[in-house]
Structure 1
Amino acid sequence: MNRRHFIERLSLGSGGLMASSALAFPLSGQAASFSKASGQEYTADVVIAGGGLGGCAAALAALRNQQTVILTEETDWIGGQVTQQGVPPDEHDWIETHGATRLYREFRTSVRRYYQQFYPLTEAAKSRTYFNPGDGTVSKICHEPKVALAVLEQMLNPYLSSRQLRILLNYKVTAADVKGDEVKALKAIHRPTGTTIVLTAPYFVDATELGDLLPLTRTEFVTGAESRKETNELHAPEKADPNNVQAFTMCMALDYIPGSTFVIDKPKEYSFWSNYTPKFTPAWSGKLLDLSYSNPKTLVPKALGFHPEGIATGDKLNLWNYRRIINKANFKAGFFPGDITLVNWPQNDYTLGNLIGASEKDFTHHVNRAKQLSLSLLYWLQTEAPRPDGGAGWAGLRLREDIMGTEDGLAKYPYIRESRRIKAAFTIREEHVGAEQRAQVTGKKETLAAPFKDSVGVGYYHIDLHPSTAQNNYIDFGSLPFQIPLGALIPQRVRNLLPANKNIGTTHITNGCYRLHPVEWSIGEAVGMLVAFARQKQVIPRAVYEKSSLLEEFQKTVRSQGIETQWPA
């Protein structure tokens, strides 16, 4: 097909957010390793849509294996969850030594090194082997989004200089040219200007947050919750609901300056959100804007604490410390006037709309309402939240627009927990990774999830589903350290499109443990290597999955490049 005709024939898709500022990377000049048939077409060995952790990891893996890469990102920050969405890493207890790829641990080490090189740390902080900038309780390395961005840029910059990589920021893929079982090209629009380009490659990777390429490329997919009859999962609902997906969140960054006043204007939806009581099943603990929630594992009401000076709140979890990214005590006296935390709490999970498949109008509507929820939470904390001294409100809480890189102080993009999922050659179900159901299958208490002979990575997180658009309360239960099977990365039909985010072959239930930072990275890195391996062997990815000799060679290759495929016994 004539690519000019392709541009004219395909209509623009919808959805996504307008980028808020200029490009963080300028578009590089024409590279010797790229072909450019016209002023609006670019070609590489692989086109990766989505610059989150999976997209970045896929790019780095392909690049180190001599592939040329085009990476698109619809905001002006790469990094996904850890940067544009404002979510410090959610990781497992063994992350410092095993259970993730070597490259992911290099990323984490580089984050620590960045602070050691550029920030005035105390001697005690410098001497800590596993330095945690914020000492947040959710992770061993709670850090600022912009530091993660700087580190990812450092990791990718050599390939930009060598012109092996092109990064297209503020670009959203809106259409695809598909022939039979193969994707031929994608069309992307530069959101600030409306300029369109065509991207061609032998391989395409969907690393978008919502699995946006799947409907555009006619790749078979599922959404929402499968029924128990379909999956035989203990925690699946009796009835399937494709619109039942987990909450998304518009995160924000706050610091606290005692004695100061930074109270924001009352949000226009404050009356609604301050009186809103979720109608979840089983029931929520009370009003959403309150220092309580449903214990995720038991669903009984549980009190929470809040003190923005990091002071212990008895036996209650201090929400301030949960995702704190700067503990001022780790830095020389006076450098930070107060701690900084990222707010991604039960109180600002948004369940009143589904972004998957939403029109641009509906997408914007729900994102704006989610922003109103987060701002209402801030205003409530500033003016009404109970204080230990018997007072109300913490006026010294300050919205940190600079931390999030936006004018409104909220994240550049929603924190997405669930997306479209490919209909895969193999689907991971609860019986493979859930501790309770695994014990039923094997007749004994297991310490590891089901072994997969096609494993191309490992990961761990408990199965954690937040309240959903169907008004289901938490679903949260134990899982086992698991493997990432290659079959879950292979679409049933389409030959040259691969997933590299939350869009792999999981169910609504098992997505709950495969959606976190290091697992997304591991998926992306395996996919980037799979593209390089398939091109080297001149086979399609499905052949690597189906032919034992190719599979064994590929697994040996990934292990040689620092990707673990098994957990130690």
Structure 2
Amino acid sequence: MIKRSLLSLTIGLTFLESVVPVALAAPPRSPDQTVECEILVAGGGLSGAATAYEALLSGRTVCLTEITDWVGGQISAQGTSALDERPTQRQQLLYSRGYLDLRQRIKSKYGELNPGDCWVSESCFLPKDAHNILFNQLKDAARRGKGTLKWFPSTVVKELDINQSGKLIQGAIAIQHRPVKGAPPLNTSPLSQTIEDSYRYENSSQFEKSIVRFVPQQRKKQTGGTAPDWYVVDATETGELIGLADVPYRLGIDPRSYLEPSSSSETGDRYCTQGFTYTFAMEATKEPQAHTPPPFYQQYAPYYSYELQRLADFGLVFTYRRIWSPKEGQQTKFGGITYSAPTPGDISMQNWTWGNDYRPGTAEDNLIYSRDQLQASGQLQPGGWMGGLRTETLRKGEENALGYFHWLVAGTTDSQLGANVKQPQPNNRYLSGLDSPMGTAHGLSKYPYMREGRRIIGRPGWGHPQGFTLWEIDISRRDYNEEYYRNTLSPQTYRSLRAAIAGFEAASAIAGTKPLDQIMRRSRSTIYPDSIGIGHYAIDFHPCMTMSPAETPGNKEREGERRGAGQAYPFQIPLRALIPQKIDNMLVAGKSIATSHIAAAAYRVHSFEWSAGAAAGTTAAFALENGIMPYQLVDELPRPEPQLEALKRRLQKNSNPITFPDTSIFNQNWEEWK
């Protein structure tokens, strides 16, 4: 039965300490087990699953760790089970083979791809089903490819054993937790109440710990070979291994430049990352329900809003990401959007910017600790890693989400649209319980949906002397011929911008032989010789807020953050974006590849995560097979790289697209891609 009321959770949340200093972990005892892998994947989200999928099909032994007990990330543990896809790419089914397999399995499970009849996506479904669907997919990949999957749920990486040269990860220590006998089951308490415990070596009143040491699998080396015996892939949601290994990375807003001309800060701001979201599920009911406000409701109520007048309709918001709809309701239209009205039994997953998004943006409340903050809290000391997140901010994100549900069903205020807009909607109930859609007793997602984490700075090389990065101008459709850019950027910076996007007229822009406003920009994204994956999505922002705390009455989004938002051309995933500095046997997948703050707003959705993971898994398997390190595949660019070409052929042979159709500097028809 779905049980435990919303109020019972809120009471538990209310009495948490507001600020808990991060304690250093106790010295480790001897590992309880040593596990060998050819590829260690940290993070079981979509990118980690895709990495494992391709590596298993290549016959490799894969260890896959995940902080929750569900594989799938966005589609399961984070509750965002509505696939973000662009129309043209979806119409052509131009996706990695594993992503297509996943879509087909969803369709087979329900008899249709969209059992929720949502209007934001072609596929909305239940998070609790997504774990089983994807885990079975991984098991089938292991069987077909004769690989071995070693699955470690409820497991976090605590320490990395890096050799004296600082170039190779020789081992990793992880902590797996399970409930102590007699304690409540996993997923009874929200993440803020368990996360610090999960990173401590010692047993506790709620968890019994098992210490796992991951080491390279013994392999027969090629004669004279110097390549590593294994690869470690950071597919975590926030770039945990990046922070733990202390490789160069970015966090938050990048300084304004000709590469990132729409940046909201001249100098950058590492504390302003995109908002995170605790999703939850709610069910439409025939009869009105009693709704008691949580004790902290008034603290967060000034934040909630429908945001825009064209969205100010409860039915529209409910069906936006409806994940289950046993009966089709009456066709309804609001704000130009047609949807089938909610009927009793419908289940909606909520993910709303001015709702359960929590958007801190200062040094006092940022969620993902910067390097300075990690160092100050002792997390970069041996044994000191505690996940790199501010627990207090997680807690407030949980409260904010619970308050948003109460606003939806009982609220009458609207922070952006004023009075007489929001009406109570009592015929709805909050779904909680271990058998609820989110699989938690408290009803919130097991882990928040993360839109942005730490992002590596790739290695310096041809065309990227400061380290490889995918920038705003590499993907944006913006023309930049606006007064804002002319007035804000220096004349030289503006000329560099126009030259960088000029395509065939770059020489004229650089030489000044033609007025800048007469130089047409190229109508495509940047093309990379080392592209090993693809993606397409709009540059979509959920900006941080200006004041702390985020729910401060009258608070506003960081000024200028949405300036970079807008449509993007279909884009590529270069291998160089997956390779960190310093460490040679580490790859990065998912949202922590080498992107800028603005580019990251497009490089974060479901199909991209899968494509990046497929690239990482294939690259790791290829490197093991050929005795070569990934950076050696690209270190001679722009000169020919025969082994890079072999890797690209393997990806294409395996139905993992690395370019969009007709990709060429001569193709100027990308405006047709929607």
TM-score (norm 1): 0.81
1:403 aligns with 2:410: no
Q: Which residue of 2 aligns with 1:90?
A: 84
Structure 1 gaps, min length 5: 1-10, 15-36, 117-125, 276-287, 294-301, 309-317
Q: Which residue of 1 aligns with 2:366?
A: 354
Distance apart, 1:386 and its partner CA: 8.1
Q: Given residue 536 of structure 2, which amino acid in structure 1 is its aligned partner?
A: Y
Q: Which residue of 1 aligns with 2:162?
A: 178
In 1, Cα distance between equivalents of 2:614 and 2:527: 20
In 2, Cα distance between equivalents of 1:445 and 1:183: 44
Distance apart, 1:448 and its partner CA: 2.8
Q: Given residue 305 of structure 1, which amino acid in structure 2 is its aligned partner?
A: A
Q: Which residue of 1 aligns with 2:446?
A: 412
1:269 aligns with 2:302: no
- Counterparts in 2 of 1:121-136, with a 5 A limit? 131-136=113-118
Q: Which residue of 2 aligns with 1:280?
A: none
Q: Is the 8 A contact 1:233 1:429 kept in 2?
A: no
In 1, Cα distance between equivalents of 2:572 and 2:621: 21
What are the Cα deviations for residues 397-455 of structure 1, in whole angstroms up to 9, with x where unaligned? 11122010001111000111110011113210112111125894124354431111111
1:304 aligns with 2:311: yes
Q: Is the 8 A contact 1:246 1:469 kept in 2?
A: no
1:421 aligns with 2:455: yes
1:246 aligns with 2:274: yes
More deviation in 102-111 or 322-331? 322-331
Q: Is the 8 A contact 1:354 1:469 kept in 2?
A: no
Q: Which residue of 1 aligns with 2:648?
A: 555
1:368 to 367, 375, 395: 395
SS of 1:166's partner is strand
Q: Given residue 506 of structure 1, which amino acid in structure 2 is its aligned partner?
A: T
Q: Larger radius of gyration, structure 1 or 2?
A: 2
In 1, Cα distance between equivalents of 2:159 and 2:404: 38
User: Residue 138 and residue 372 in structure 1: after superposition, are their counterparts in 2 closer, same or farther (change >3 A)?
Assistant: same
Q: Which residue of 1 aligns with 2:219?
A: none
More deviation in 548-557 or 265-274? 265-274
Q: Given residue 431 of structure 1, which amino acid in structure 2 is its aligned partner?
A: I
Q: Given residue 251 of structure 1, which amino acid in structure 2 is its aligned partner?
A: T
1:63 aligns with 2:53: no
In 1, Cα distance between equivalents of 2:279 and 2:396: 13
Distance apart, 1:327 and its partner CA: 2.4
1:99 aligns with 2:98: no
In 2, Cα distance between equivalents of 1:391 and 1:209: 34
Distance apart, 1:232 and its partner CA: 4.3
2:148 to 151, 160, 164: 164
In 2, Cα distance between equivalents of 1:38 and 1:224: 36
SS of 1:69's partner is strand
- Counterparts in 2 of 1:332-481, with a 5 A limit? 337-346=344-353, 347-352=355-360, 353-357=365-369, 363-385=390-412, 392-401=423-432, 402-425=436-459, 426-436=468-478, 440=498, 441-442=501-502, 443-444=519-520, 446-468=522-544, 470=546, 471-472=557-558, 475=562, 476-481=565-570
In 2, Cα distance between equivalents of 1:404 and 1:536: 40
User: Residue 549 and residue 59 in structure 1: after superposition, are their counterparts in 2 closer, same or farther (change >3 A)?
Assistant: same
Distance apart, 1:136 and its partner CA: 1.5
Q: Given residue 394 of structure 1, which amino acid in structure 2 is its aligned partner?
A: Q
User: Residue 499 and residue 269 in structure 1: after superposition, are their counterparts in 2 closer, same or farther (change >3 A)?
Assistant: same
Q: Which residue of 2 aligns with 1:137?
A: 119
In 2, Cα distance between equivalents of 1:405 and 1:245: 28
Q: Which residue of 1 aligns with 2:659?
A: 566
Cα RMSD after superposing both structures: 2.7
What are the Cα deviations for residues 44-72 of structure 1, in whole angstroms up to 9, with x where unaligned? 10100000000000001111111100000
2:610 to 507, 521, 529: 521
SS of 2:40's partner is strand
1:327 to 325, 328, 332: 325
1:197 aligns with 2:239: no
Distance apart, 1:385 and its partner CA: 4.2
Q: Is the 8 A contact 1:89 1:142 kept in 2?
A: yes
In 2, Cα distance between equivalents of 1:307 and 1:362: 34
Q: Which residue of 2 aligns with 1:219?
A: 247
- Counterparts in 2 of 1:71-82, with a 5 A limit? 71-82=64-75
2:256 to 204, 208, 228: 228
In 2, Cα distance between equivalents of 1:497 and 1:322: 39
TM-score (norm 2): 0.69
